[in-house]
Amino acid sequence: MNENLERFLRYIKIDTQSDDNSTSTPSAKKEYDLLNLLRKELLELGIEGEITKEGRLYAYLEGEKGLDVIGLNSHVDTALEMPGKNVKAQIIENYDGGYIKLNDEYSMSPKEFSSLKGHEGDTLVVTSGDTLLGGDDKAGVAVIMSVLAYLVKNKEVKHHPIAILFTPDEEIGRGPEHFDAKKFGADYAYTVDGDYPDHIDIENFNAAHADVTIHGVGIHPGEAKGRMVNAISLGVLFDSMLGQEARPENTDGHDGFNHCGSFTGDVSKAELHYIIRNHDKEKFLAQKKKFEEIKEFIEKKYPTAKIDLEMGDDYKNMKEIIDQDPRALNHAIEVFKKMGITPVHAPVRGGTDGATFSFLGCPTPNLGTGSYNHHSRYEFLSVRDFNQMIEIVKELVKA
């Protein structure tokens, strides 16, 4: 087995699931298990890394003077949807393109998972059906470490100076916290945290949340005529006024949505929690405005009711920054073309840590990893695509 794949298999054995109930940083102590191992492996390569008190691992590999410093980032934590402990990877050599049995209960095939298509003859790493694999984002971590190992062992290969950053807590949205652009020292960077190798992601959602608290008027139902204002009914009205077409289940591509993630309450008080998403800034602002308008409309129609509306922004579309400073994007496109790869730019229907890095002064598009079906038991690594990602990142940093 080649050492790059061994590296991946070594990392996924370490449980690094982040914890959204924790307020400490990193959210789970066990994230240090991988951070410490990475620092040790970097040191073995002669690269000194520093783990900050917030659990961010920064490192730097000197390169040719006068060239842009290229940053590389991946996250060490894994998602919360599935356990990340006791990952027992199964290796399928020479995949026949058909049905894959994970265990007695679960299996997968290209019929349900289009990401499996075109992998005939490939070597796949799959789960045992009870856990996730951890390819998100240990495949990214392994890509970066493999490129660094290659450069250190092949001193004749001239390359850009490389700034390295491994972060915890991406899966709970706290990866970019404590990001220190100056300490990182990159002119621009790439998160290696996607799936398909031919993708360069430069667009993600603008994101906000809205907490709607409706105070109705609770009265004995026998004497309610003309007086009761049921907060539940107003909640239903509020949600219906946002429109069917703007719901996640009815949107894809560049369509934004308002998603009601929870609705609880009784006659006198109801609470609705929303996330608001759109790639387009104008449409995003209009969506937020609609929340205000609906509040006003309902309060006018039901003067004895009251609605508290609290909204806040969560992250922004990095395209705004990439458009202003396209060096990272242009460099990647050039390298892809040189390698004969046609780049695909698909809008990310979520956030990326790179979006926040971009707004903090370091333009950071996202690249693939060769791992697929993230956050689930159906996660798998395509060894062919993983190896291609290593070649892509090597070319990106070569002088």
> Which residues are catalytic, by number?
77, 170
Closer residue to Zn ion (CB): 60 or 196? 196
| CA gap 84, 131 in Å, rounded | 6
* Phi and psi at residue 245, to the nearest 5°: -65, -20
Classify residue 2 by burial, with Cβ atoms within 10 Å: 0-12, 13-18, 19+.
exposed
Shortest Å, Cβ 265 to Zn ion: 34
| CA gap 349, 75 in Å, rounded | 19
Closer residue to Zn ion (CB): 84 or 161? 84
The total of other beta-carbon atoms located within 10 Å of residue 191's CB is: 27
Q: Helix, strand, or coil here: 393?
A: helix
Shortest Å, Cβ 175 to Zn ion: 9
Closer residue to Zn ion (CB): 122 or 379? 379
Shortest Å, Cβ 137 to Zn ion: 4
Shortest Å, Cβ 34 to Zn ion: 14
Closer residue to Zn ion (CB): 193 or 385? 193
Shortest Å, Cβ 140 to Zn ion: 7
Place of tokens 């190798």: 197
The set of residues, in sequence order, having a beta carbon less than 8 Å from that of 89 and lying 6+ positions away, is: 9, 12, 125, 126, 127, 128, 133
Closer residue to Zn ion (CB): 140 or 235? 140
Closer residue to Zn ion (CB): 164 or 307? 164
| CA gap 66, 51 in Å, rounded | 27
Residue 2: HSE in the Cβ half-sphere, 13 Å Cα cutoff: 13
With beta carbons less than 8 A apart as the criterion, state whether 178 and 54 touch.
yes
| CA gap 125, 266 in Å, rounded | 49
Q: Which parts of this chain interact with Zn ion (CB under 5 A)?
A: 136-137, 193
Shortest Å, Cβ 267 to Zn ion: 43
Name the amino acid, one letter, at 110: P
* Phi and psi at residue 165, to the nearest 5°: -145, 120
The set of residues, in sequence order, having a beta carbon less than 8 Å from that of 378 and lying 6+ positions away, is: 102, 106, 108, 113, 127
Place of tokens 């006003």: 296
